[in-house]
């Protein structure tokens, strides 16, 4: 069994000790408990637990929901709420803490065990996904070409640092904006607007490879000549889900 700690936050000392002992018998590492929201926040900082079992109704100071929100601000630890109060108001308010799960008191230890295992499994999956996304972002940011990705509607989903430098648009400004805002192209021969993703409103998945007479309107350097290509992003069953645009300023025109 995993030896990373689990923190129990419960203001009934006897109940906390019962849960702690039961979890230890299941093989979990439960070194301590907390009785208040303030104590829960402090012990989470110290222990960096793998999971927090949080009673919603705590007597002194902040309640479990407030404590969970503060904990989330400090570290991305999964939280499972324990509560005897299943009213709609409490349930809806608890959403702000983004808990992994709820368990209603009184509960069987077998049921708690199942909820803990599901929460830990979900936490591992989410951590793996975030690490994978970070690795992909680091890879794309290390490429010397500008990279943009869009959905089928041409709404930008990613922009790498090279693309930020060339276009003058930052990540925060570019995301969720139409490709025509961030990547406005002009045909250098005709002076007409040139759609990056083709002439259709939705990207149809056809590759594009443009190498001559294309000008990009940038924020910093005005119009610059570029070469660019567009390739489809495919999901399950090879279905087109978006596009990736790779581009660079033509070396012969660099100052």
Is the N-terminal amide bond of 193 cis, ω within 30° of 0?
A: no
Q: Is residue 235 part of a domain?
A: yes
Residues 6+ apart with CB under 8 A from 254: none
On whether both 131 and 147 belong to a single domain, the answer is: no
Q: Is residue 189 part of a domain?
A: yes
On whether both 113 and 237 belong to a single domain, the answer is: no
On whether both 155 and 114 belong to a single domain, the answer is: no
Neighbours of 229 (CB within 10 A): 15
Residues 6+ apart with CB under 8 A from 80: 51, 52, 53, 54, 99, 100, 101, 102, 103, 115, 116, 119
Give the model's confidence band at 75: pLDDT under 50 very low, under 70 low, under 90 confident, else very high: confident
The more confidently predicted of residues 99 and 139 is 99
On whether both 130 and 158 belong to a single domain, the answer is: no
Which DSSP helix (H) or strand (E) runs through 68?
Answer: helix 64-74
pLDDT, mean over the chain: 88
Give the model's confidence band at 254: pLDDT under 50 very low, under 70 low, under 90 confident, else very high: very low
Q: Is residue 45 part of a domain?
A: yes
The more confidently predicted of residues 87 and 170 is 170
On whether both 14 and 108 belong to a single domain, the answer is: yes
Q: Is the CB of residue 19 less than 8 Å from the CB of residue 112?
A: yes
On whether both 66 and 186 belong to a single domain, the answer is: no
pLDDT at 211 over 90: no
Residue numbers of the domain that contains 65? 6-138
Residue 219 has φ and ψ, to the nearest 5°, of: -75, -35
State the first-to-last Cα distance of the chain, in angstroms, to the nearest integer. Answer: 61
Out of 120, 138, 156, a domain closes at: 138
Q: What is the pTM of this model?
A: 0.58
Out of 138, 164, 195, a domain closes at: 138
CATH code: domain of residue 161: 3.30.450.20
pLDDT at 253 over 80: no
Cα separations (Å) of 209 from 2, 66, 159, 202, 213?
A: 51, 53, 19, 18, 12
On whether both 165 and 114 belong to a single domain, the answer is: no
111-126 confidence digits (pLDDT tens): 999 999 998 888 888 8
On whether both 93 and 124 belong to a single domain, the answer is: yes
User: Would you state the pLDDT for residue 58?
Assistant: 87
Cα separations (Å) of 196 from 161, 185, 200, 212, 218?
A: 19, 7, 10, 14, 15
Q: Is residue 96 part of a domain?
A: yes
β strands within the chain, DSSP E: 6-9, 33-34, 51-55, 79-83, 101-104, 146-151, 156-159, 185-187, 208-210, 214-217, 223-234, 240-249
Q: Is residue 238 part of a domain?
A: yes
User: Would you state the pLDDT for residue 106?
Assistant: 84
Q: Is residue 1 part of a domain?
A: no
59-68 confidence digits (pLDDT tens): 778 899 999 9
Mean pLDDT of 87-96: 80
Alpha carbon 252 to chain centroid distance?
40
Cα separation, 147 vs 58, in Å, equals: 50
Q: Is residue 100 part of a domain?
A: yes
On whether both 122 and 179 belong to a single domain, the answer is: no
On whether both 160 and 134 belong to a single domain, the answer is: no
Tally of structural domains, the chain: 2
On whether both 106 and 166 belong to a single domain, the answer is: no
Out of 138, 172, 196, a domain closes at: 138
DSSP per position, 115-145? HHHHHHHHHHHHHHHHHHHHHHHHHHHTSSS
On whether both 88 and 198 belong to a single domain, the answer is: no
Cα separation, 4 vs 48, in Å, equals: 9
Q: Is residue 115 part of a domain?
A: yes
Among 97-101, 139-143, 156-160, 199-203, which stretch is predicted with the lowest mean pLDDT?
199-203
């Amino acid at each position: 069994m995993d030896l990373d700690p689990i923190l129990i936050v419960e203001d009934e000392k006897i109940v906390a000790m019962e849960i702690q002992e039961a979890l230890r018998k299941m093989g979990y590492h439960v070194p301590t408990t907390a009785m208040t929201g303030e104590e829960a926040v402090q012990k989470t900082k110290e222990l960096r637990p793998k999971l927090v079992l949080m009673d919603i109704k705590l007597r002194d100071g902040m309640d479990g929901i407030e404590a969970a929100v503060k904990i989330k601000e400090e570290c991305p630890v999964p939280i499972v709420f324990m509560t005897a109060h299943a009213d709609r108001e409490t349930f809806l308010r608890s959403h702000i803490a983004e808990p992994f799960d709820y368990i209603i008191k009184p509960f069987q230890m077998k049921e708690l065990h199942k909820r803990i295992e599901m929460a830990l499994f979900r936490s591992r999956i989410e951590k793996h996904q975030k690490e994978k996304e970070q690795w992909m972002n680091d890879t794309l940011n290390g490429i010397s070409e500008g990279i943009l990705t869009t959905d089928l509607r041409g709404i930008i989903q990613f922009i790498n640092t090279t693309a930020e430098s060339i276009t003058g648009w930052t990540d925060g400004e570019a995301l969720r904006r139409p490709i025509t805002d961030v990547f406005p192209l002009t045909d250098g021969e005709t002076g007409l607007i040139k759609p990056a993703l083709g002439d259709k409103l939705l990207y149809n998945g056809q590759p594009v490879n443009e190498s001559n007479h294309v000008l990009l309107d940038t924020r910093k350097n005005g119009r610059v000549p570029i070469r660019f290509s567009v390739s489809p992003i495919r999901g399950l069953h090879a279905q087109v889900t978006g596009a990736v645009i790779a581009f660079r300023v033509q070396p012969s025109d660099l100052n």
